Structures are given as structure tokens and as C-alpha cells.
Chain A
Amino acid sequence: MFSSKKKLNSIKFQQYLFCFYVLFPTIVIFAITRFIPIGGTFYLSFYKWDFLSKSFIGFSNFITLFQQDTRFHQALWHTVLFIITSLPLIVLISLMIAILLNRKIRFYSFYEFVYFLPAVVSMVPITFIWKWIYDPDYGLLNFFLSLLGISPKAWLLDPKLALGSIMVIVIWKNIGYYAVIFLVGLKGISRQYYEAAELDGANKQQLFVYITLPLLKPITLFVIVMVTITIFNIFTPVYVMTSGDYNASPVDSVRVLVYDIYQNGFRYYRMGYASAESLLLFIIVFIITLIQLKIAKSE
């Protein structure tokens, strides 16, 4: 009995060893590209480093961030605003599109392709295209609005409109991708549930509320977590929209966290300070994701 237990342990050990061997390259790559930089960021956040000289300054970077840096507060607020506005819109619109695509419609593949296309194209060309669309003089948006008798607006230049205009781009780019994710979830729901509910006399609304939504919960959670992370990391559209000398958004109106990190790190060479900001961003995203997972689990 004792020897068979020993044999079992040996087999288990070999299985573990096999798993370790198989996973080792991935772990190494992950460590190099993820854990070490995160650790490095944590380490640097206690230093003043301009690429040329480095000195330990303790918690100074964090104290400045919380107590004095109004631009950081502004960036944090804009990012939160971005999430509050864009997250529900992305989830709702992409779910709606997925539901529409899930019906047996003509040209299904064409619509799927059209909605998914923005997700495939890189953010830089997309932002440039939108910059032209938003052009106050020659922009398509103002042209179409003028047909409705609406006076032209400086979408990117007006501090009150600039952040909203960038949000539209981010929403537009992401809905197609998440619609496809939702579509996969919808297709995974067995017809049997609907048929059973229909036999019990459930109407379409009830089918959606009591069958579709609960069974889509894991997918919805995944979408919410991913969209939250995506929005916290928004940088490219803000960078492109504030660049240039014409039709460029006022930076202070659209400043988001990653843009602020970029400016501090790569424009002002305040790498320690930018690391402190990055660490805070990491902590915020980590906590929000944990809360989202906890809520989903408790339900």
C-alpha cells in the first residue's frame, strides 16, 4: 500500500514536472515582458530618474501626485469620466448589435465584417480619419449637421466637446469587437432553454431578461473587465488629437492618465514620477477588476 502511494506520488511529481517544462518558456517570456517591468516600475517609483542620474526620494513622487499635481488629478478625473460614459455605451451597443446579428438576417457576414472592421484597423489611422471628420471647416460631420440646419461646431477645439468627441471614436472602434464576443456567447446558448421558456409562455422580453442575460453573464463580465482595462489605457487618440498646430484639442481638456504618464516620462524625463503614476494606474485597474470579479462571483 505504502509502495503504491509512493508510486502515485512519483507519477504526480512527473506530471508536475512535465507541466513545469511545458510552461517554463511561457513563464520566462511572461516574466521578462510583464513581471520584471512591473517590478522595475515599482522600484523606480521611489526614485528621481531622468535616464542620466538616479536618486532615492522615498514616497515623494506619490506625495506630489496626490497633494500637488493638479494635472494628474485632471487626468484621473477625465479617465474616470471616460469609463463612466463609454463603458455602459460600449457594452449596451455591442450587445444590441450582437442580438441583431444573431437573428437570421440577409448579408449577415457583410454586417459582421462592417462592424468588426474598425477593430482590425490600427488606432492611428482611425484617429486621423476622425480628425478629418471633425474638421470645423471641411469636416463631414459639420457638413451633415449643416443639412439639418445645425451650425458648425469645433468638435476637437472646443474644450467642452473635445473629450466627448474622443469618446465617440473609442466607442465606435470597440463596439464591433465586443459585438463579436457577445455573438459568440449568444450562439453558445442552447435553443432548448428558449424552447422550454416559450412552452411556459414567456414573451420575447422575458426570454431576454431571464435566459439570455443570465447566460451571457460570464461574457458580459469579460467584456466589462476588458473595456475597463482598454479605457484606462487610452493614449493614441488623445496623443493624435492633441498633436499638430491646427484642429488640435486643448491638452488640458482631454488629458487622460496614460497621456500624463507619457508626458512625464518621455517628454520631461521624469521616469520615477511616471513610474509612480503607472503604479497607481496598475493598482486602480487591479482593484476595479477584482471588485468586478467579486460582484460577478457573488451573484
Chain B
Amino acid sequence: MSKTFCAKKVNLLVVTLIATLMCGVVSTSEAMTLKVWTGIPEMIPVYKEAMKDFQKTHPGVKIDPMYFELREMERKCTVGLPSGTAGDIIEMWRMPMHRYIEKKLISPVPSKLVTIIKERGISEYFPPSLWKGTFYSVPFYRAPRYMFWNKEMFREAGLPLRAPKTWQELIGFSCKLAKYDSEGRLIRSGISLRLAGAGSGVTEKWWVFLVQAGGTILKQLPNGKWCAAYADEAGYETLKLYIDLLYKYRVNSTTIRADADAFVVGKTAMLERELFVAKLMKQRAPNVEYGIAWLPRYKKAGDIMAPFQWYVPETSKNKTVAWKFVEHLITNPKYLEEAFLVSGLEPILTKGLDYRKILNKYPQYKDVLKFPKDYELQRYPYIAPVDEICTKLAARLVRAFRDESLLDNPKKMRKVLTEAAEETNSILKRENLYGEE
């Protein structure tokens, strides 16, 4: 009897132990914290809200969204991804992530999610998610540039109430919109161009005009190698446009307030920028009447694309749940709508989005709802030194923009571009990426 009792006790103990262990296993599989790295502080409440719903089907999963300034996040990835200490979900654009994709540090997107992406998204923005036919990221927002134009200033200048459609109109409109003080100093620019800054941003903005002139920054040759492509007619015309706007027409200057800030405070009449400007206008200049339009065309219509995507590191311990959470984000349009509303982030996966709310907040957006058919979207080349190339070209462009002697001096302008292209090619040579045409 006592033996049976003892055996029973042992059995009970074993069962309890197994049950406890199983509970432990179950609870550890669910009890986890997803670290989400974002470059947009307004996304933190959106992620937290999405997690609340996610927890209904995945109890025990918590979220820890962390905001980093973009460049800071790029550097964190440099250390975090190889060492396996990066976030479980990283919001980032393709260019800095490519080297990690090549080194297999980024997890491929599960096939179920790929099907959802293809069903729901704007296909023009898929290439930055792909590498050798495989999706390595889930498209989030696209950040194209639009022409922001101040309606009040257009009215005042007697211009038609629409944005310029061509480069010729851009110059003509700018001339009428620019304002000067009694001593002839520019006090309001016709169009604000990116003329300063240490990073690659100057090149990026110049590149947009270069696309419209029919050019590009780097060309890939049939043998897979690369070479500088901007020291050509398109490059010359783009540089000439900048120099003419600065020194011939004097509709912009290197010393006047620039960029989104200038548009918000009425120091410029036109600006080519991403939709975040609309958010700024809502916050800081809610009464200013302005419009949003597609960029003007020259030989082509177009832009460069640097959409942001969600990446999951291969080394993440919570990889499966991380992908599930991304799936949860993209299959519930309310989160993407919220991201759009709070931060002007235009989703690439547009299916199911209720544009009424968005248009209610940003009525100007109705003019760019439909994606133009002949709009060329160039993407950053997926090569390691592209940031170095763009940053070093930017430094040369900044110097050129300050050089008034370039005006009506095609030889000098071409020299600027040729010397810059030589530097670009030397970087490509150093990395064994250079090829001659």
C-alpha cells in the first residue's frame, strides 16, 4: 500500500514536473519582446497599438519600439547585425542594407508574406525589396518627391493655379515668384534647391533633376561592372539648370533659407520634397494654401526611389514572430493609414486603404493619388561604395553651386563634372567594381 502510494506520489511528481516544464516551454515560446528599430518617432504609438491587437492572438509577446535618427540606425546596424544584437524588425531603406543581404544576415521574407505583398502593393516599388528574385524585405513606405507650391504666392504673381509641368515652366514661374528687397537681395526664392549639407542629400536632390534630363549617376555595364554616368549632356544640363537658377535668373541663392523650413515660413514659393512637408505644414503653417504635384518633366518625367522597408535579421531569435507581426501590420490597413496620417508615410501596400481619412487630413494629396504612367523611377545601385560616391560628388556640387564663374561657361561646367566622374571611377576601381564602356 505504502509502495503504491509512494509510486503514485512519484508519478504525480513526474506529471507535475512535465506539466511545469511544458508550461515553461509554452510560456517561453510566447513570452518575448520584439525590438523594433524605427527612424520615425511617430511610428512608436502605431507599433504599440498594432501590438495590442497582435497580443490577442499572441499573448505574452511584447513590443519595444526604439527610435534612432536614420544615420545613427545605419551605424547601429553595422555593429548589431553581424553580432546578432540588432532589432528583431528594422525599418530601413535598401542601400545600407544591401551588404547585409549579400552576407546572408537578413532573413528572406516567408512565402506567405510574399504573396500578400504582391497582392497588395505598387509593383514599381518592389525592386528595392528584391535580390536575385527573392524578397528580403516587406515594403513599407515609398517617400517620393512632390512639387510643393504656395497657392497664395502663385496668385500674387499672376500665375496659373497649378504647379510647373516642365523645366521651362519651372524657370519661368520661379522668376515671377522670387522676391527681392530694395537693394536687390533675394528675400524669397522662386524654388528652393538643395545647395548645402555634408551628406549625400545634395547629390540625391540633384540626381532627381538628372533623371528628368535623361541621365543617371552610375551606369551598369553588360559585364556587371559600373562607371560614372553623369559627366554627359544630361549632367551638364542639370548643372546648368542649377547655375542658371542661381546666377542667371537669381531665383535662389546659397545664403537664403532653404528646404522644408523655407516653405513653411514662406521663404520659398516652390519646393521638391517628400510628403513629410505636408505634416509640417499642418503643424506649423495650417492656414497656408498650398498644392502638391508630380515633379516637372524635361526630357523625361521621373524621380529616384528610396522606399523604406521592414527587415528581419537572420540572427533574430524571434524571427518567426517578427514576420508574423509584420504580416499583422500589412494585413490591417488601419496601421498603414495611421502611419500616413501621423507622419505622411505613403504606404506601398495600398490595397484596402481608406483614402477618405487621408484626404480629409491632406486634401492636397488628391492631385498625386494616381501614379503617372511614364514616370521613370531610378533606384540606388546596390554596390557598397554608393554612399561614398554620392557624398563625395555632393561636396563637389556644393563647391560648384557657389562658383558664379560657371555661369555661361560650358567648358568649366563640363570640367567640374569630368573631375567628379574621375573621382567616382577611382572609388569604383578601388572596390574592383569599375568597368570601361
Contacts and interface: CB of A to CB of B under 8 A. Distances in A.
Contact of A50 (B79, B99, B254, B395): B99
A251 B255 contact: no
B129 interface: no
Given A154-B255, A245-B194, A250 B402 contact: yes
Interface stretch (B106-114, B385-393, B410-418): B385-393
The DSSP consensus for interface residues of chain B is helix
B198 A157 contact: no
Q: Which of B196, B199, B201 has the most chain A CB within a 10 Å cutoff?
A: B196
Contacts of B426: 68
Given A157-B196, A243-B197, A268 B387 contact: yes
B40 interface: no
A268 B402 contact: no
A52 B256 contact: no
A195 interface: no
Interface in A237-275: 239, 242-252, 263, 266-270
B229 interface: no
Interface residues on A, range: 20 to 34
B395 A266 contact: no
A49 to B, nearest CB: 11
A185 interface: no
Contacts of B257: 137, 246
B232 to A, nearest CB: 24
B82 to A, nearest CB: 6
Given A51-B82, A137-B257, A251 B103 contact: no
A118 interface: no
A243 B391 CA distance: 12
Contacts, number: 77
Interface residues on B, range: 20 to 34
Contacts of A52: 82, 99-100, 103
Nearest to A268: B388
A65 to B, nearest CB: 13
Nearest to A255: B395
Contacts of B399: 159, 250, 252
Contacts of A251: 198, 395, 398
A164 interface: no
Contacts of A239: 198
B75 A246 contact: no
B255 to A, nearest CB: 4
Contacts of A50: 99, 384
Contacts of B391: 263, 267-268
Contacts of A137: 255-257
Given A52-B82, A269-B78, A250 B388 contact: no
29 contacts: A50-B384, A51-B82, A52-B100, A52-B103, A53-B103, A137-B257, A154-B255, A159-B399, A242-B197, A242-B198, A243-B198, A244-B196, A245-B197, A245-B259, A246-B259, A246-B261, A247-B196, A248-B196, A248-B197, A248-B198, A250-B398, A250-B399, A250-B402, A252-B398, A266-B78, A267-B387, A268-B387, A269-B78, A269-B99
Interface of B: 75, 78-79, 82, 99-100, 103, 194, 196-199, 201, 254-259, 261-262, 384-385, 387-388, 391-392, 395, 398-399, 402, 426
